[in-house]
Amino acid sequence: MTSDRTHHAPPAAAGVEAVSVLADELRRTMYGFVRRAHRPVTREEVAADAGVSVKLAAFHLDKLVAAGLLRAGYESPGGVPRVGRRPKVYEPADTDIRISIPERRPDVLAEILIDAVIEQEPGEDAHAAALRTARRRGEELGAATRAGSRPGRLGPERSITLSEAVLEQHGFEPDRPAPTELRLLNCPFHPLAARSPGLVCGINHAFLGGFLAGLGTAGIDAVLAPRPGRCCVELRAASGGDSPAGPAAGSCAKEPADRPDGRRTPD
């Protein structure tokens, strides 16, 4: 099919717009019909199914196209050649629309864990494989960001500026209390981080450390610093020492810590 436009997975704002378009019951009916058809369908077919005029069907179908939910083009329905101009037809767009407030990204965590299982090296335990894979994924994101923006040499403040923009797009809700400090107010991996803080926070730490490395930053570290209701990692000016050890390096402050006897300590 010759398409009018190509749509990719929309960002959060576009996702909200797409869902708002489906608030109209008639559009939901039409969208459902197109999805169930499993083939390109014409305006006339959609209009007949919905019991409306072809003109009204065309109006709503084009709204669905504009929202990225459908793809329009020109093709002979059923693959049967016909004389004259080919009719406009519609089919589902290749979009994956998800909305969560605050933003959650369990898909990123799942991809890291799947890759870790597939690529686990001989003698490497699952936890180490997950951390290694998370760092590699972060490095890939950082390298892609650098290639796209070509920022040149990145000192601490410019490193934070560029990191802030990217991490905002990935749902971390960055807050910049100082020129060389970035706090991440949202954990995209919650509530999974609360379920297994040692693993998930470690993956998050490795991912963000890899991101800084791939971006080519200077003078900035990803540091484990769990606080209630926030991401367990902060970006700060490098201190020259190691990241904090003890509970902060392997626990999530959103949940009470485990006691040696297996019970939870009170908040």
Domain boundary assignment for the chain: 2-92, 106-250
The two three-digit tokens of residue 199, written as one number: 């693993």
CA 207 centroid distance within chain: 14
To which residue do tokens 């997975």 refer? 9
Q: Is the pTM of this model over 0.75?
A: no
Choose the CATH number for 2-92 among 1.20.1730.10, 1.10.10.10, 3.10.150.10, 3.30.470.20: 1.10.10.10
Phi, psi of 222 (to 5 degrees): -90, 120
Going by CATH, does the domain composed of 106-250 fall within 3.30.1380? yes
pLDDT for 247: 34
Q: Which residues of the chain have pLDDT under 50?
A: 2-10, 241-251, 253-267
What pLDDT is recorded for position 248? Answer: 37
**Of 32, 46, 51, nearest to 92 (Cα)?**
32
Residue 258, strand partner residues = 264
Residue 226 DSSP one-character state: -
What pLDDT is attached to residue 101?
Answer: 77
Q: What is the pLDDT of residue 255?
A: 40
